Amino acid sequence: MKTLFNLFALLFIISASFGQGQREYYQLKHYILKTEQQEKVVDEYLEKAYLPALHKAGINDIGVFKPIKNESDTLKSIYVLIPYSSLDQFVGLEAKLDNDKKYQKAGSDYINATHDNLPYLRIKSTLMKAFEGMLKHQVPTFESAKKDRVYELRSYESGTEKLFHNKVHMFNIGGEIDLFDKLGFNAVFYSEVISGANMPNLIYMTSFSDMASRDSHWKTFGESPEWGEMKVKPIYQNNMNKLDKFLLYPTDYSDY
């Protein structure tokens, strides 16, 4: 009996460890908007229909972000970050939404919009899988007001698939994730893009209580001896050729 008990205990530990090691997938939806009315419609849809429906479907920690204003911006944007426990959960979401009567009613203005009164110009969608160095996302906690927080979304593009995997290695094995953790960058996720417009590329998000904290953290990072040593290693030379960064803040109804 004792042997049998020990066997069940071992199986439980293995099962629990496997669950903890399962990597997540992320979808980043980028709504491109032209007018304030479109922004209002999409905000209303996300807050009253989409996020509640995803929560009902067992998908939590959904981030909704808008760009920190830039005078050169001519269009408006809303970014929605959705974590999935598996690809099956991602694939099965649309069917669940189609059968969710409460969602269909709450989102009717958006869902049933006509061709001459569109709620957005376009949606860009990127599908990603979590890095081995951080298999699951984290929701940071701040005491600052949401409007003051900074979520920095970065995309690093590489010239070839091999160079891309080298850059991913730099994060996972080379020490880049460890350095971000050490310096308190409050990473939300790190990911490899598996379907998107700018492949091969990786995308990650860090977070800060305010802009001053963001600037201070990056200054410390750039001056750190670890980064000074890491960036000149021959193995990691020329493994990225384009950086895009987006400074965002969470909406009032965001889970972040």
> Global pTM?
0.90
CA dihedral (128, 27, 245, 168) in degrees, to 10, reads: -10
pLDDT at 62 over 50: yes
The confidence score (pLDDT) of residue 44 equals: 98
Q: Stretch 187-203: mean pLDDT, rounded?
A: 98
CA dihedral (79, 219, 168, 136) in degrees, to 10, reads: -50
pLDDT at 180 over 90: yes
What share of the chain has pLDDT > 70, as a percent?
91
Answer whether the bond into residue 200 is a cis peptide, omega within 30°: yes
The confidence score (pLDDT) of residue 21 equals: 62
Mean pLDDT of the chain: 92
DSSP 93: H
* Residue at 175 is within a domain: yes
The confidence score (pLDDT) of residue 239 equals: 98
Identify the CATH number of the domain in which residue 147 sits.
3.30.70.100
pLDDT band for position 74 (50/70/90)?
Answer: confident
* Residue at 17 is within a domain: no
Number of domains in the chain: 1
* Residue at 7 is within a domain: no
pLDDT at 71 over 70: no
* Residue at 256 is within a domain: no
* Residue at 246 is within a domain: yes
* Residue at 2 is within a domain: no
- Per-residue pLDDT tens over the stretch 222-249: 999 999 999 999 999 999 999 999 999 9
- Closest to 84 (Cα-Cα) out of 74, 75, 76, 94: 94
- Per-residue pLDDT tens over the stretch 122-131: 999 999 999 9
pLDDT band for position 70 (50/70/90)?
Answer: confident
CA 78 to CA 64: how far, in whole Å? Answer: 7
Residue range(s) defining the domain that contains residue 81 = 23-250
